[in-house]
Amino acid sequence: MQAKPHAPTKTIHAVFLDVDGTYADYGVVPHAHKLAVRAAREAGHKVLLCTGRPLAMLPAHLLEAGFDGLVASAGAYVEVGGEVLMDRRFPAEMAARTLAALDAHGAVYVLESPESLHVASAAEQRLRQIIEAHFSQRPDGQAGGSSAILGSLAPIPEVPSFAKISVFEAPVSVGSIAAEIGQDVAVVENSIADEGRHTGELYRRGISKADGVAVAIEYLGIDQADTIAFGDGENDLEMVAYAGIGVAIEGSHPGLLVLADRTAPPPSRDGIAAAFAELGLI
């Protein structure tokens, strides 16, 4: 009697989703995206968020679909299955140098760590104005997404501990401030929203979302070739280049569109759900 051939082994993918402008729009996740994440996980794939946001800026409504882990703080923090695999922060001397440069320019900024967000007391009112104005640009005119930031703010402690800084307003470019700080600090300019202000993110040079992806897949035992990454911004460049399949959201940063293997529609058109179906994840 001839033995039946074995069914081919299904490839399990690790899927990494940027949050803002990719999985969510102004902090709101389309229902179709939540369903797609759940369906992909039910099919055996691992789905993780990979965001510039710190853990403290990821409220329950962004996580309610259920994820196998997350890469946060643009790669400085990695958590899989509830286990923290990486948590890299600014060393004390670098932190002091960075804050001194920002304060010398009167910048409005938030210090981001996994457990908390911190703002200088003198800048809090202006920060609230900026955040509420940004999120009010949602198509429905609601500013609900602002609570992820404004609801978690605390004064800067005497000895701050943070992984990344988001600059919401400065009189000069964030790039020029980074140059003053030194070569150990890198910058992504205008990563929040360019509304006539100098904005961006400051982080430790040599850390990117791709580093977080590498740590996560090593833990999961999934090959780099079996990773899929979705993003739309400059801080997604390394991640999309690293992934086996890189997907850029339509209208993304130009450099990302060049690197990506394919594109997907934006959240307003349920792009993640459409791409998951086309990729055979659901």
Residues 46 and 139 in one domain: no
pLDDT of 139 reads 60
Residues 271 and 233 in one domain: yes
* Phi and psi torsions of 281, nearest 5°: -85, -20
- Domain span at residue 187? 92-204
Residues 66 and 112 in one domain: no
Q: Which residues pair with 83 in a beta bridge?
A: 80
Tally of helices (H runs) and strands (E runs) in the chain = 10, 14
Cα distances from 59 to residues 26, 28, 44, 140, in angstroms, run: 13, 11, 25, 20
Residue matched to tokens 């993918």: 13
Q: Is position 27 within any domain? A: yes
- Give the end of a domain, one of 148, 173, 204: 204
pLDDT of 143 reads 47
Residues 120 and 149 in one domain: yes
Q: Is position 254 within any domain? A: yes
Q: Is position 178 within any domain? A: yes
Residues 99 and 179 in one domain: yes
pLDDT of 230 reads 98
Residues 30 and 107 in one domain: no
Q: Is position 6 within any domain? A: no
Residues 177 and 145 in one domain: yes
Residues 168 and 214 in one domain: no
Residue matched to tokens 């030194």: 182
Residues 177 and 257 in one domain: no
Q: What is the pTM of this model?
A: 0.87
Q: Is position 125 within any domain? A: yes
Residue matched to tokens 């710190």: 54
pLDDT of 146 reads 58
pLDDT of 206 reads 92
- Give the end of a domain, one of 158, 183, 204: 204
**Which CATH number is 254's domain given?**
3.40.50.1000
Residues 68 and 129 in one domain: no
Q: Is 209 helix (H, G, I), strand (E, B) or coil?
A: helix
Q: Are 17 and 228 in contact (CB under 8 A)?
A: no
- Give the end of a domain, one of 177, 204, 231: 204
Residues 78 and 105 in one domain: no
What stretches in the chain show pLDDT beneath 70?
1-9, 134-151, 190-197
Task: Write out pLDDT tens, residues 5-50.
Answer: 555 568 999 999 999 999 999 888 999 999 999 999 999 999 999 9
pLDDT of 1 reads 46
**Which CATH number is 96's domain given?**
3.30.1240.10
Q: Are 177 and 189 in contact (CB under 8 A)?
A: no
> What tokens does 103 get?
């304060």
Residues 108 and 245 in one domain: no
Q: Give the dihedral sign, CA 262/237/54/214.
A: positive
Q: Is position 122 within any domain? A: yes
pLDDT of 8 reads 59
Q: Is position 9 within any domain? A: no
Question: How far apart are alpha carbons 238 and 256 in whole angstroms?
Answer: 9
Q: Is position 3 within any domain? A: no
Number of domains in the chain: 2
> What tokens does 76 get?
């400085």
